[in-house]
Each structure stands twice: as C-alpha cells, then as structure tokens.
Structure 1
C-alpha cells in the first residue's frame, strides 16, 4: 500500500472524526427567527440535546429536553447514530495508526498490517454512514415540517450544525474508501524453492559415479 495514500486516508478520517465531535454539541441544528418589533425579535435554535432562544439584546436561554422517551423517534435515533459515529471513528483512528507501514505496533508482518488498516477503513466508512444517516434524517424532518402548509407550530430551517455533520460524513467516507481500496489484504507471493526428491538425488549420484568410472577406464587406453 502506498504510504502517501495511508497518510491522506488517515488525515481525512481523523478530520471527519473531529468534525463529528464538533457537530454533536453544536446548538444550531435547526434555526428559526421570530420577527416583530425591535424588542420582540428573537431567534430560536435547537439540537439533539436542548432548545434555546436569543432575544434582540443578545440574552439567550437554553432548556434541555427533559426526558429521552418523550422525544420524537428521529431525535432518539439521531442521538444513537451520532454516538455510534464517534465510537466507530475512535476505533478507525486507532486501527489505522496501528496498520500503517511506518508503525511498529504490528511488527513487520505486512499482511497483518494491511488487514488492520482495512479494518480501520471499514470503521471510517461506518462512521461516515452513521453521520450521514443521522444528519440527513434530521434535515428531512425539518424540510418536511417547513413545507407543510397545515403545520400549526413553529417552523425551522437547517442550521450550521447539519452542514458540519455532512462535511464530516463525506470526509470519513472518502478516508475509509481510500483505505479499503488501496490496502493489500491478500497474501504475499511465496518464493518457490526447488526441493529435490530422493529419487532425483540417487539418479544424480549414480550419474556422477558412472561418469567417473568411464573417465577412469578411458584414461588408460
């Protein structure tokens, strides 16, 4: 496997892992503005964990969601997928570091290193898929409510936290694909050595004896 591809894939996966950690606590997953007078203008924003409001004076107030079971199903699923993405990214970074050619953790066994690096690529792919599914599911619910003319409640728009999550998913998938497609998971080509059999050795010895005896008889003619 090309060491440059290993480094590029590791950088992409690691950057995607960091961005997942940035997207999870980001408060602006969905944003809504309540326009009115200067005093009543406010901005509402939510993420997976809390709902916040900011007025025109810059004072903000946040309220955490009281119960997990009382939340919508897509929020619960998004939480689980984002946590799974962080866990998969952690295993992906560790496996890729161990499986790199410049690493001494796995010794000089290139086959083992290739398989460990491929496992790291699989974890990066899982991280990217979990992130993309979570972010896209959350965004789909935002757009569905926004374009529903019969929805009586407050409508929101896509916030910056979702864009960070999408970028994280793309980077993780690219890094995992590079590792999975480039690492050598096959076995090494074995060097074939000639193993003479007992019959071959006996025939060669007999030929040498016959040659020596013939040379001895002809030498004195």
Structure 2
C-alpha cells in the first residue's frame, strides 16, 4: 500500500509541517542558548499555525490534517516553549548545572509545560469536535504569551516560571474558549510578524501590543468573544 503523500496532503498540511519545522529550529536555537531567537521562532510557528487553520477553512482540509496539527503543536507549542523557559532561566541564573535547586526549579517548570501541553493536545484531538468551543487555553496562546512577554522585556526569571505554571494549568482548565475568527487571527498575525521582525522597534511596541491582545483574549474571550 502506497502512502500517496502528494495525493493525501493539502496546502494546509504543508503549512502545518512548516510550523513543525520552525519549532525544530527553535529547539536548535535553544540548544545554543539564543533565548530571544527562540521566542521569535515560537511566534513564527504560531503564525504558521494560524495560517494553516485559515487555509483549511477556506480551501478545505484533509483527513490527516488534524493529526498533523496535533503532532506539530507538541513540537512548537510544547517542547520548544519548555526549552525556551529553561534556557531563559539558565541565561540569568546559569550555569544551572552547578546549582541543583535552581536546575530542578527551571527544569521542573519546563517539563510541567510540556506535559500539560501534551495532555491538552491529546484530549482535544480525541474528545473535542471541530465546531465545539475548546476547553482550556490553546497551547499556541500559552506559548505566544511567554514569548511575547520575554520580547516585551519581562525577563525576570521568577515571574517567567510562575507565568509558565499558571499557563500550564490553564491549558487543561474546564473553561471553554471560542475559536479565533479568521479576521482576528490575521490581525494578530500581522502584529506577531512585527514582534518577530522588529521586537525592539519603537520601545518594543509590537511584542507589547501582542502581549496585551493575548492577555485580553485569555481573560475576556470565554464571556465576551464570539465569531460571526
């Protein structure tokens, strides 16, 4: 039996694979200790993730698309952000290898984020329908908040670790979140690209606007946001 890759993958799937590839590059950058670059690449992966959803809704998806999307999310919005948190802590507190308590704190929080992202992705894939509101915040949103906060200048390690713990728990919280409308996803993508390309321009305006918008969705969307 042939896999028939060219026949069974669509344009949205190609964008999903691009998301995963960017996540892998982010992990490579983390291995080199390039903290800001990792944050930028996480946001770039989030842009690709948003685009694959828009493409799937406008041009149609494939049967394999949801599975590819879930696996790509684990790379870009599970493992890569976990490494980002650890490397950001190591950049300030390091080298963490010589400080066992600090190493345990940073590695433990990073692992917690990966585990909760994995649990959320698996449960969402199996139990949540395409047209249903999604329980818990998206791991894409959680990752984008962490990356945007760092690029916005909020680099204090205890605050970063505390935010990571809170966002990890919120990923599996029993609060329904509506899907972001295409027009809003596009607007967020424009701001994200600004944060990626020029994170320090105009007193870090792009990552700060992105962070404010993401936090507004986080706190207000369950009650006040809806798609037309």
Tell me the TM-score normalised to structure 1 length: 0.28
Whose helix fraction is larger, Structure 1's or Structure 2's?
2
Q: Which fold has the larger relative contact order, with Cα–Cα distance below 8 Å and residues 6 or more apart in sequence?
A: 1
Tell me the TM-score normalised to structure 2 length: 0.27
